[in-house]
Amino acid sequence: MDNVIHDIKTERSNVSGGLPQAYRIVPVSFYIAAVASLMLSGYFFLSKRAYENREAQMSAMLSDAQNQKNQLLSRQQTVVDESRRSEGFAKWLEGSHALQPVVAAIGRSMGKNSTIAELSLDRNPEIPAHTFMQLKIDGGGSQQIETTLSEIYALDYQTYSAQQVKGRNSTDFQATLIYNDKR
């Protein structure tokens, strides 16, 4: 122990008494603390640097992921906007089926004793896909109405809330036509 304690002292004559026995632990502790401090400092320093590197990598990864997420959200918004626009077109077109084929079919369905006195097709302003039809036929009666309805059904229309009033020589028929897209 003496050698350990005194090995870094230069040779000199003792001017005071030796260190008391209990105090000898202090220099020994100092050596141990110095070595341990060096080793632990190195270890903690390297750990700190490794954690800082990892943090930098993770920050870059976070930034990439957030950019990617933002791009995807932006594309989602674009698709949503496009879809909303497309739905607007679809909604308009749903209430814009051509009426000429209906008028032509009703005209074609007339038998030799029947004529159209008046035909009115009005779209419901709230639900344009629903068309209110009022038809007044001179002659023909119920049989003519059935023939006319068959022609309308052949165009993929359905009738709803139909009413028929028979006069002396004419028949009034009214119904709501709804296009039924079977394709």
Contacting other proteins (CB under 8 A), which of 8, 125, 163, 181? 125
Applying CB under 8 A, which part among 50-58, 147-155, 162-170, 172-180 lies near other proteins?
Answer: 50-58
| Residue 83 vs 150, nearer CB to other proteins | 83
Partners of 170 in beta bridges: 138
Shortest Cβ 164–other proteins spacing (Å): 19
Say which residue the tokens 């050698």 belong to.
3
Contact between 51 and other proteins per CB under 8 A: yes
Which C-beta is closer to other proteins: that of 45 or that of 160? Answer: 45
Among 4, 98, 127, 154, binds other proteins (CB under 8 A): 98
What are the angstrom distances between the C-alpha of 125 and each of 56, 129, 131, 160?
62, 9, 9, 17
Q: Both tokens of residue 100?
A: 């000429």
Which of the ranges 82-90, 141-149, 152-160, 172-180 carries the binding residues for other proteins, by CB under 8 A?
Answer: 82-90
Residue ranges of the alpha helices (H) in the chain? Answer: 2-6, 25-94, 100-109, 141-153
Using CB under 8 A as the binding rule, whether residue 166 contacts other proteins is answered as no
Give the integer Cα–Cα distance in Å for 160 and 13. Answer: 126
Q: Does 117 bind other proteins (CB under 8 A)?
A: yes
62 binds other proteins, rule: CB under 8 A:
yes
121 belongs to the binding site for other proteins (CB under 8 A): yes
> For the range 94-100, what are the long-range contacts, defined as Cβ-Cβ under 8 Å and sequence gap of 24 or more?
94/128, 94/129, 95/123, 95/127, 95/128, 95/129, 96/128, 97/129, 97/179, 99/131
**Shortest Å distance, C-beta 82 to other proteins:** 5
